[in-house]
Amino acid sequence: MASNDRVKVAVLGASGYSGIEAVRLLAGHPFVEISVLTSEHYAGREVAEVYPHLAAIDLPPFEELRADVLEQRADIVISCLPERVGVKTVAQLVNSGTKVIDVSADFRLKDSATYHQTYGAEHPAPHLLGVAVYGLSEFNRRELREARLVANPGCYPTGALLGILPLIRRDLIDPSSIIIDAKSGTTGARRQAAIEQLFAEVNENFRAYKVGTHRHTPEIEQEIGAILGREVPVMFVPHLLPVTRGILTSIFMRPRNGTTELDVRAAFETSFAKSRFVRLLKPGMVPELKNVRATNFCEIAFVLERRSQTLCVITAIDNLGKGAAGQAIQNLNLMLGFDEAAGLLAPAPVP
């Protein structure tokens, strides 16, 4: 495909962890061209000076964020700006007809009151909450194909919902029993200087944080509730792993009376029949972070434990892949009518 025919993509906040991952993935995408990269910190510098691993790729330099420039030079925008930083720009772009995928949490919650409660501030553009499509690709393909604004799911919600929604849809579990024990690599946090993210603090360590109070909880509950038609609280406990990438999520649920392993397997198979990224593992195999690292894949396995009447579903994703930049590009593919998997099928480098 000649360069002229390629769709022009801008990445905002391109020098952060999810931003630079989007750049890496887009660089290998057959149908797009990276036209603008913004970075507050590195504006004016060549990408290869900051990220030498991209030196072999022809890229525009980092530049400052200007919405009017973006309208002219980009057909679609992936915003990896932090919460609230990009809202105004996103709103302006959407208004002017530029498609946007927002990787931040800004447009994920449908309810502005919940947003206020969760993020501690009025939503700066509540009129767009109804416009935004929640970008959990496997469950919203139809809406995503028409979307002008996609709210890319959080990394934890992605790992959790892929393991829960198929069961909710088939009513195989008691929705009031959901417990989510998630473990994330450090790039789940932004690339910014912080004592608690120093190597010497994270290495050889492991801990939970924000037990029962993490901001991704309402997002998970919203999507479960959307299927059920009513609110259901979940218990969500995130942990910090001494790895760079990856989220392993163990989800514990009480199965409905009569739920069998075949039911559970069928539910996953149906929900993910068309998905090339979700791998339902055979009995006896377990999801592993290494198998999905640097990819958009998700591994899922489950055990229905009879003695304790507990269904344990385990999912593995890369928080920067399916949990951020990978899913953003999957959504971009859907929005632009491309093959959903375009540019996203390279396997993980193992070991």
Work out how close the CB of 77 gets to its own copies at its nearest, in angstroms, rounded to a whole number. Answer: 22
337: left (phi over 0), alpha (psi -120 to 50) or beta: left
Nearer to its own copies, 75 or 263 (CB): 263
Closest to its own copies by CB, 94 vs 264, is 264
Crossing angle (nearest 10°) for helices 326-336 and 17-27? 50
> Of 92 and 177, which has the nearer Cβ to its own copies?
177
Active site residue 155: yes
Query: What minimum distance in Å lies between the beta carbon of 180 and its own copies?
Result: 10
Distance of closest approach, residue 313 Cβ to its own copies, in angstroms: 10
- Of 98, 196, 115, 111, which Cα lies nearest the Cα of 149? 98
DSSP calls for 218-251: HHHHHHHHHHHTS----EEEEEE-SSSS-EEEEE
260: its two tokens: 């069998």
Least CB distance to its own copies at residue 137 (A) = 16
Q: Which helix (H) or strand (E) holds 266?
A: helix 261-271
CA distance 6 to 323: 26
Q: Are 293 and 210 in contact (CB under 8 A)?
A: no
The enclosing H or E element of 135 equals none
Residue 146 or 350: which CB sits closer to its own copies?
350
Cβ neighbors of 72 (< 8 A, separation 6 or more) are none
Is 290 within 8 Å of 274 (Cβ atoms)? no
Q: At what angle do helices 261-271 and 155-169 cross, to 10 degrees?
A: 120
Q: Which is nearer to its own copies, 30 or 124 (CB)?
A: 30
Nearest CA among 211, 215, 205, 221 for reference residue 181? 211
Shortest distance in whole angstroms from residue 115 CB to its own copies: 18
| Residue 324: φ, ψ to 5° | -160, -95
Residue 88 or 207: the one with the smaller Cβ distance to its own copies is 207
* Minimum distance from residue 143 beta carbon to its own copies (Å): 26
Q: Which active-site residues does the annotation give?
A: 155
